[in-house]
Amino acid sequence: MVKAVLVAAVSSGQGKTTVTAALARKLVKLGRRVRVFKCGPDFIDPMLLERASGAPVRSLDLWMVGKELCGQQLAQAAAEADVILIEGVMGLYDGTPSSADLAREFGVPVMAVIDAGAMAQTAGALVHGLRDYGPVKMAGVIANRVASEGHAKMIASSLRDIPLFGTLPKQAKSLPERHLGLVLPGEVHDLDQLLDDLADQLVFDEAAWESLPPVHIGATAAPALPPLLAGKTIAIARDAAFMFLYPANLDTLRAMGATLKFFSPLANEAVPAHADAVYLPGGYPELHAEQLSQADNWTASIRALHAAGMPIVAECGGMMALADTLADQAGAVWRMAGLLPGAVAMQPRLAGLGSQGLETPQGILRGHTFHYSKLATEVAPATYTSKHPSAIQGEAWYRVGSLSASYFHAYFASNPAATAALLLRSVT
């Protein structure tokens, strides 16, 4: 038994991540063992929440991750922790499936975050609507951007039978953002101080928290995966330009018997010797395009391995780094590795977003897309992903020799057999 809440709001921009981080750090400072999850596809928020809680943050999504693996992850966290916090995605009922669907599936009550900066008693109407529309079990409310103690009292009285668990004042210094979301935690030099300040400023009713009934999450053991990659070494790019990958992807590769070796194209490191395949995850190559353009050792090694027929899987930023050129946000054009003929250019507006699936001979490999760039290429796509739930055509999937490349980010645990097939030389 463990105390668990799903932190949700009426929409994006209400302060879910800030409040979840503040609550996680507050509970850690109170001596609780805290595990945090992020609902829906996301790479950056989990990095911040990991810093706030001091423990790895995994993804929960009934479609991409699947009910069984979500349950396994929650059960493992319940066995190790006193508290589980799940940050929702977008608004509580947005998406198919939604954060509300996840909460109901596992019996987790909702902690509603409201931006109270421009409201008072209307908060009650908003929160009751969030509770009753689904309906969902409502644990309580944390009000963000509260101006004063009097303001907090007005909000509390409007909630009627729903408790106000905490308030957070408007922040003089917010978590910095860029085009794909929050700035990476490693780039914020005073992040831990900022998280401590958020925890200290969170006026939190500890007695109300302790009165929350525990949530029972049944133990489910993860099945052993077949050793489809036994004896294989997978070289994985990991640095400031290539860091968008799910921890579950690494777990899945290891569970299938692979040995993982990490390297840094930004540091001009060649692909590690004796690798059997290369995985280039997404990230921010556009922020490091000049440095990548000068990384001759990296470029020469990946070209040689491609010419030798080594399997290479490149997702989003990984694909961008393998095009002929990359135009950054300022319009400067930089030479890239040139395995995928074409030019990538950053766009001012979002170019792709949402859950998608790739049909393979082993079944559907699920994942998502989220990018601000576009690829202009004469290479004909080998296939396309399908958007979920509409089944409309999604991202192009390119095959150039042994290279598989797309804006699609795959969640390997959704189909380990399909993942293994991509990384084996037998793929044609």
CATH of residue 196: 3.40.50.300
Residue 225 lies in a domain: no
Q: Are residues 193 and 273 in the same domain?
A: no
| Domain that residue 263 falls in | 233-422
Residue 173 lies in a domain: yes
Question: What value does the mean pLDDT take over residues 135-153?
Answer: 96
Lowest mean pLDDT among 95-99, 123-127, 267-271, 423-427: 423-427
Last residue of a domain, one of 210, 225, 242: 210
Q: Are residues 354 and 260 in the same domain?
A: yes
> What is residue 428's predicted lDDT score, i.e. its pLDDT?
38
Q: Are residues 48 and 110 in the same domain?
A: yes
- Predicted confidence band at 44 (pLDDT cuts at 50, 70, 90)? confident
Q: Are residues 192 and 258 in the same domain?
A: no
pLDDT tens by residue, 357-396? 999 999 999 999 999 999 999 999 999 999 999 999 999 9
Candidates 65, 101, 86; CA nearest to 16 is: 86
- The whole-angstrom separation of Cα 105 and Cα 70 is 10
Q: Are residues 179 and 239 in the same domain?
A: no
Question: What value does the mean pLDDT take over residues 212-225?
Answer: 86
> What is residue 175's predicted lDDT score, i.e. its pLDDT?
64
**What stretch of H or E contains 71?**
helix 67-80
Residue 222 lies in a domain: no
Last residue of a domain, one of 178, 210, 242: 210
- The whole-angstrom separation of Cα 175 and Cα 183 is 8
Given a contact cutoff of 8 angstroms between Cβ atoms, the answer to whether 291 and 266 are in contact is: yes
Question: What value does the mean pLDDT take over residues 341-356?
Answer: 93
Last residue of a domain, one of 195, 210, 225: 210
Q: Are residues 137 and 285 in the same domain?
A: no
Question: Global pTM?
Answer: 0.93
- To the nearest 5 percent, what fractions of the chain are helix, strand and coil? 30, 30, 40
Q: Are residues 206 and 238 in the same domain?
A: no
Residue 64 lies in a domain: yes
Q: Are residues 121 and 15 in the same domain?
A: yes
Q: Are residues 107 and 176 in the same domain?
A: yes
Residue 221 lies in a domain: no
pLDDT at 177 over 70: no
Q: Are residues 36 and 167 in the same domain?
A: yes
CA dihedral (306, 311, 315, 319) in degrees, to 10, reads: 10
pLDDT at 111 over 70: yes
Q: Are strands 233-237 and 259-263 parallel, antiparallel or unpaired?
A: parallel
> What is residue 427's predicted lDDT score, i.e. its pLDDT?
40
Residue 220 lies in a domain: no
Could you give the residue numbers annotated as active site?
316
Q: Which CATH number do you get for residue 280?
A: 3.40.50.880
Q: Are residues 249 and 202 in the same domain?
A: no
Residue 127 lies in a domain: yes
The number of domains in the chain is 2
Q: Are residues 324 and 193 in the same domain?
A: no
Residue 216 lies in a domain: no
